[in-house]
Chains A and B, each alone.
Chain A
Amino acid sequence: MSTPINSTASASVSGRAPGAGRTVPFSLGRLGIVAGNTFLEAVRQKLFNFLLLLAVAMVASAQLFQEFNFGSSELKFISDFGFGAMVFFGSTLTIAATAQLFFSEIENRTALTILAKPIWRTEFIFGKFLGVFAVVGVFCALTTVLLLGLLYHRENALMAANPDAFEHGRLIHYGDLVLMGVMQWLKFGVLAAITLLIASFSNTNLYTVVMGFFVLVICHLQYLARDAYGAVASLPLRLLVQLLGYVFPNFQVFNLTDQIGIGAGINPSVFLHVAGYALIYIAVIGGLAVYSFRNREI
């Protein structure tokens, strides 16, 4: 058990009001205040604006890059490119913003001030999470709306130029593309929870960011390990790989870009399964971050 920096902070660890010996009930209001402040702080950061600008510029320039496209149709290319920009910059934003917002509280000593108040560490951690989740939500919403607008504009132009190709109606399922944006947001939510978990025991911002990216890669590629080693003869190795498959969330389940938007639509039950998967992981990993943070010396 870590040593609290002062008695007030010690009291707040267990959620007790200072000096009163009474527990303060968990408050969604306080959690909301932490989340709101985190959101405002994040939006004011140059990092958010910079990454948002880059992502928006990339989505908007998808049409220019189609000259480099050889394989698929123009609309599919724009859709792939747009979601690629969202995933790439969204992942970067999630990891960097979560780590930065968490460590700014520690390094500026504002965490001490906040935790000296009757506030649960659960409220602090989940408040931080919700703030980042809201920021990433704004990011996903803006890029998705921009992408939808771009696709709608190009599809109209193509429909006017080549009506025969659209005799069965529009090719793009706009509703499904919105679902895709929501799924990316949920994935970033899991990633933010993981980054918070790492931050809760890490000592530096840099370590958290680097580890966050490592975990991102592992979560994307763990299925390869499961495929490759799932059937090996060595029992210990097989068990180890299975354990890894259970420990790290599988981020490939959020990758439905090929299935939705253009061509076949998404099965609503699949969407609900993925959403449930993400929300459970957010709750559990967030809970672990709280547990780890409660034992942390600030």
Chain B
Amino acid sequence: MVAVLAVTGAMVRPLEQPAWDFVRSTQPALKLDSLKGALGQGVTVGLLGGFRAIVADFFWIRTNSYWEDTDLPNTQTFVKLVTAIDPRPLYFWQNGSRMIAYDMPNWRIVKEGGYDVVSKARQYEIDKEQSAVAIKYLNEAFGYFPDSTLLYVEIGNIYLNRLKDNASAAEAYRKAAIQPGAPYYAARIYAEILTRKLGRKTEAYAWLTQLYPTLPKIEDPEKGITPFMVQSAMAPVVLDRIRELEKELNISEDKAFKP
């Protein structure tokens, strides 16, 4: 009987393989190994039964319950558990990384005596540790969202706001800006960091002059340009910034950018 089944399995492999490749190409595999020990049998059956999204949602509620109690070990465990169960929603990755990078350092500092007691160096060390965990977590998410602008923005925010690492933040925003369908603000923030934080004005000028022609300026329903796109692209603001940089860089009128 086993031999017949094995031979059948081998014979139907040419039918199975294309379908299996198709499933694997777009659907993240269920990593049961990372869930080991955390799940009861009921949850496992629920996952196999197709309630993956629902199980992840209920675990997310539980994560928030731990988060409200400022329970660091459990919050961190459950943040990772939720994305192990269902890595498809970007929402979990974004909000999980924010808990790790922004809330957890605060909990740790409070636990060590508060901001008045803990030295600045120690605070920075804690920030650095938590940010490293959050960035590693977000880098994992690229396995499921390879072109996600929002993940790069999230990483950029951590470098900028927690670690004050402007060069790394700029690089993250640059990557965010060049992804397909990137929000317009990513490109503007990149230019702002180059100019105001890093003093790389020539680079910022080159970036903005390349960016400006690509921005939608007038609403055009036939080309799919909506009023919201025009508003969020903020082309006049970008042009003003270009002019400011021309002054700061002493670029003559004949060499100035001509839109």
A binds B: yes
Which residues in A have some Cβ–Cβ distance to B below 8 Å? 65, 68-72, 77, 80-81, 83-88, 91, 164, 216-217, 220-221, 223-224, 227-228, 243, 245-250, 252-253, 255-259, 264, 267, 269-270, 273-274, 276-277, 280-281, 284-285, 288, 291-292
| 22 interchain pairs, CB-CB under 8 A | A69-B57, A70-B60, A70-B89, A71-B56, A71-B60, A71-B88, A84-B49, A85-B50, A88-B45, A221-B48, A227-B29, A246-B5, A247-B5, A250-B20, A253-B16, A255-B23, A255-B27, A256-B22, A264-B26, A270-B22, A277-B15, A288-B1
A178 to chain B, nearest CB (A): 17
* Neighbouring A residues of B56 by C-beta, 8 Å: 71
Tell me the bound Cα distance from A246 to B29 in angstroms: 20
Q: Does B117 contact A (CB under 8 A)?
A: no
* Neighbouring B residues of A255 by C-beta, 8 Å: 23, 27, 50
CB-based contact A284/B4 at 8 Å: yes
Q: Does B114 contact A (CB under 8 A)?
A: no
* Neighbouring B residues of A252 by C-beta, 8 Å: 20, 23
| Majority SS at the chain A contact face | helix
* Neighbouring A residues of B250 by C-beta, 8 Å: none
CB closest residue in chain A, given B48: A220
CB closest residue in chain B, given A201: B1
Which residues in B have some Cβ–Cβ distance to A below 8 Å? 1-2, 4-13, 15-16, 18-20, 22-23, 26-27, 29-30, 32-33, 44-46, 48-54, 56-58, 60-61, 86, 88-92, 226
User: Which of B4, B19, B57 lies at the interface centre, i.e. has the most chain A CB atoms within 10 A of its CB?
Assistant: B19
Residue from the list A71, A216, A280, A288 in contact with B92, Cβ < 8 A:
A71
CB-based contact B88/A250 at 8 Å: no
Q: Known pairs A88-B46, A259-B27; list 4 more (Cβ under 8 Å).
A: A84-B50, A88-B49, A273-B18, A277-B19
Q: Contacts A253-B19, A288-B1 hold; do A71 and B6 have CB atoms under 8 A apart?
A: no
**Interchain residue pairs A-B with the least CB separation, the first 3:** A71-B89, A246-B9, A88-B49
| Majority SS at the chain B contact face | helix
CB-based contact B51/A84 at 8 Å: yes
CB-based contact B18/A81 at 8 Å: no
Residue from the list B6, B16, B50, B90 in contact with A86, Cβ < 8 A:
B50
Tell me the bound Cα distance from A257 to B26 in angstroms: 11
CB-based contact B11/A87 at 8 Å: no
Tell me the bound Cα distance from A253 to B23 in angstroms: 7
* Neighbouring A residues of B8 by C-beta, 8 Å: 246, 280-281, 284
* Neighbouring A residues of B45 by C-beta, 8 Å: 88, 217
Tell me the bound Cα distance from A201 to B234 in angstroms: 73
CB closest residue in chain A, given B30: A224
B82 to chain A, nearest CB (A): 9
B158 to chain A, nearest CB (A): 21
CB-based contact B19/A71 at 8 Å: no
CB-based contact B57/A87 at 8 Å: no
CB-based contact B54/A270 at 8 Å: no
* Neighbouring B residues of A228 by C-beta, 8 Å: 33
A194 to chain B, nearest CB (A): 10
B65 to chain A, nearest CB (A): 13
Tell me the bound Cα distance from A223 to B1 in angstroms: 21
* Neighbouring B residues of A245 by C-beta, 8 Å: 9
Tell me the bound Cα distance from A216 to B19 in angstroms: 19
* Neighbouring A residues of B91 by C-beta, 8 Å: 70-71
* Neighbouring A residues of B9 by C-beta, 8 Å: 245-249
Tell me the bound Cα distance from A288 to B3 in angstroms: 11
Q: Contacts A70-B92, A273-B18, A280-B11 hold; do A88 and B51 have CB atoms under 8 A apart?
A: yes
Tell me the bound Cα distance from A102 to B57 in angstroms: 39
CB closest residue in chain A, given B51: A84
User: Which of A164, A247, A248, A258 lies at the interface centre, i.e. has the most chain B CB atoms within 10 A of its CB?
Assistant: A247
Residue from the list B2, B10, B50 in contact with A257, Cβ < 8 A:
B50
CB closest residue in chain A, given B87: A71
Tell me the bound Cα distance from A71 to B93 in angstroms: 10
CB-based contact B5/A259 at 8 Å: no
Tell me the bound Cα distance from A83 to B7 in angstroms: 32
* Neighbouring B residues of A292 by C-beta, 8 Å: 1
CB-based contact B92/A284 at 8 Å: no
CB-based contact B88/A68 at 8 Å: no
* Neighbouring B residues of A77 by C-beta, 8 Å: 53
Q: Contacts A86-B50, A87-B49 hold; do A288 and B12 have CB atoms under 8 A apart?
A: no
Tell me the bound Cα distance from A277 to B23 in angstroms: 15
Q: Contacts A70-B91, A247-B5, A292-B1 hold; do A253 and B50 have CB atoms under 8 A apart?
A: no
Residue from the list A216, A217, A288 in contact with B4, Cβ < 8 A:
A288
User: Which of B4, B20, B58, B86 lies at the interface centre, i.e. has the most chain A CB atoms within 10 A of its CB?
Assistant: B20
Tell me the bound Cα distance from A71 to B18 in angstroms: 29
User: Which of A71, A252, A259 lies at the interface centre, i.e. has the most chain B CB atoms within 10 A of its CB?
Assistant: A71
